[in-house]
Amino acid sequence: MALGMVGASRLLHEGILKNILHSPMLFFDTTPIGRILNRFGKDVEAIDTTLPGSIRSMAMTVFNVIATIVVIVIATPLIALPFALLAALYFMVLDVEMLDCRLPSAVLTFVGAVIQAVMILSMPIYATPTIVFLLAPTIVFYYFILLHCGGPLRLLKQLKVA
């Protein structure tokens, strides 16, 4: 861990030094040398003093969470499936968040609507499994209408706008 801190401190110092050396002369005319030296000292001191404690705290928290999950799974093995599903859902949401800046808003709105629909429909199914017999034909009918009537309506709206 100490070598990592030294490396982080060196990278920060090299980056600051490179930026200072490539600064125009006007920067040195307007900025006192004491302020520049204080900036170097404070940044390196912050990395040397606060970063190790923060990383140690984060590592302890991660190990505590992992130990808690392991103890829960050992005590009740059936809970491993929901943990696995939640982990998969978490990483899928991370992927969707990563795509946030790359996809147009219409696609993101669609993905959000699908996730919301799944959440809304899963609660009655979980509470009363017999409701599936009522929901399944409704969902099939809705998608039939959406596919066969929604497409031409969308094309008409595009023609109207043009």
Would 99 be classed as within a structural domain?
Answer: no
Would 15 be classed as within a structural domain?
Answer: yes
Query: Which three-class secondary structure string do you get for 35-81?
Result: HHHHHHHHHHHHHHHHHHHHHHHHHHHHHHHHHHHHHHHHHCHHHHH
Would 6 be classed as within a structural domain?
Answer: yes
Higher confidence at residue 73 or residue 135?
A: 73
User: Domain total for the chain?
Assistant: 1
Would 139 be classed as within a structural domain?
Answer: no
**What pLDDT, on the 0 to 100 scale, is given for residue 124?**
72
Would 155 be classed as within a structural domain?
Answer: no
Q: What is the pTM of this model?
A: 0.43
Would 95 be classed as within a structural domain?
Answer: no
Task: Report pLDDT digits (tens) over 51-64.
Answer: 788 888 999 999 99
Task: Report pLDDT digits (tens) over 137-158.
Answer: 877 777 777 666 655 555 555 5
52: containing domain: 1-75
Question: Which residues touch 47 (CB under 8 Å, ≥6 apart)?
Answer: 5, 8, 9, 12
Question: Which residues touch 43 (CB under 8 Å, ≥6 apart)?
Answer: 12, 13, 16
**What pLDDT, on the 0 to 100 scale, is given for residue 146?**
66
